[in-house]
Amino acid sequence: MKLYSRSQVVVIVCITIIAMLVLCSGMFAIFRVRTGEKTEELPVESEEIQEEPKYSDTPVFEFKTSAPDQVKKVDLDGYSQEEIQNITVYANCKDAVVNITTEVVAVNWFLEPVPQSGGSGSGAIIDKRGYVVTNTHVIADAYRIYVSLADGTQYEGTVVGSDTASDIAVVKFTPPENMELRTINFGDSAHLKVGQKVIAIGNPFGLERTMTTGIVSGLGRPIQSSQNTIIRNMIQTDTAINPGNSGGPLLDTNGRIIGINTMIYSNSGDSAGIGFAVPADTAKRVAAELIQNGKVRRGSIDATFVQLNSSIANYAKLAVNSGLLVQQVAEKGNAAKAGLKGGTEAVRYGSMRNSQVIYLGGDVITAIDGIAVNSLAGYYAALESKKPGDEVSVAVLRGRKTEVIEIVLTE
């Protein structure tokens, strides 16, 4: 054990006291500095908290298209009026139709990722800066995207944005500075008539820039493209559309896009004279928003739903066997404020392995803004063009009585 003299003890105590005083003063100074910094930064921090991503409710993106003097002039002597029409449209639009090919990533026998050829389709140049509109399913799961132009050049493209609800996607490639791209303008699909002549240009079976003609066979067709997706207001046409045409333009006789060729109805997979195109009004709105915001903002009802079927309807003794059964409504949300009611009776539904708890006793949504809602796909289709903040009229079955409530949509 080490012993200290009285003088040594006094010196050690004095040194300890001085060190503690210095440390305390330093901490006090640091506390004052940090407190002062916080006070000065408060306004800045509050401004950052209030800042949110800003999206435009109405797309203001303006497409940069080809100048009128770039439209090609062709020798039309000796042709019929219909032939002149076809020749002119093709001459003015073919250079703006592109072939899109993709590469996807697969796994080999050694479980190694390897690139392999993916699908192919068509697209239309809608902006001189290299923006191309096509279908989402054309570029789905793509590892690389290649855009081939009419002059044979090929460029690697990037996905600007894609929207499964409308099956519309935008791809961008970067042309050389001295290249002036040909573009195709969007037309008006709201005033199409059944029987009106239409023209399709695309790349069926890899045969680049193939032109076919036909008529508008039907309008306003709701077509289910996947389990939870119904695309409304599709244009039906008898124009020959085959694999490879997807994403290509459906044109009017003035060479304007009135639709984006999307799918066919066929038992064999080849054209059977029943093709469908996304209307130009939808494609233009979606493409503009994808370019501007990178995504499409859509409104929704702040509640959860279960799609009705006969089993649930019979058990719950409901008057309908289709629609959306409201499960839970967000507390203090817009739907709750409007009076939408959720379920209160919890029951287990499904097989033992795949059972889930659902709630009975809530409202059943049967229509939105006059559009019948029989399924989740119908619900998404009814809100496809709606934005957060829009007000919709929702028809609900409450007990045995149908009521209509106004709900402001959320994001």
Which residues carry out catalysis?
137, 167, 246
Burial 362-389 (b: 16+ CB within 10 A, else e): bbbbbbbeebebbbbbbbbbbbbbbbee
Q: What is the number of other CB atoms lying within 10 angstroms of the CB of residue 308?
A: 22
Q: What is the number of other CB atoms lying within 10 angstroms of the CB of residue 181?
A: 22
Burial 59-72 (b: 16+ CB within 10 A, else e): bebebebbeeeeee
Tell me which residue of 207, 99, 96, 202 sits closest to 146, measured CA to CA.
99
Over its C-alpha atoms, the chain yields an Rg (Å, rounded) of 31
Burial class (CB in 10 A: 0-12, 13-18, 19+), 138: buried
Residue 205 near residue 167, CB atoms below 8 Å = no
Report d(CA 288, CA 295) in Å as an integer: 10
Report d(CA 296, CA 287) in Å as an integer: 9
Is residue 147 classed as helix, strand or coil in its secondary structure?
strand
Alpha helices in 244-327 (DSSP H): 280-293, 310-316
The percent helix, strand, coil of the chain (3-state, each to 5) is: 25, 35, 40
Q: How many CA atoms lie within 13 A of 105 on its CB side?
A: 6
Report d(CA 299, CA 320) in Å as an integer: 26
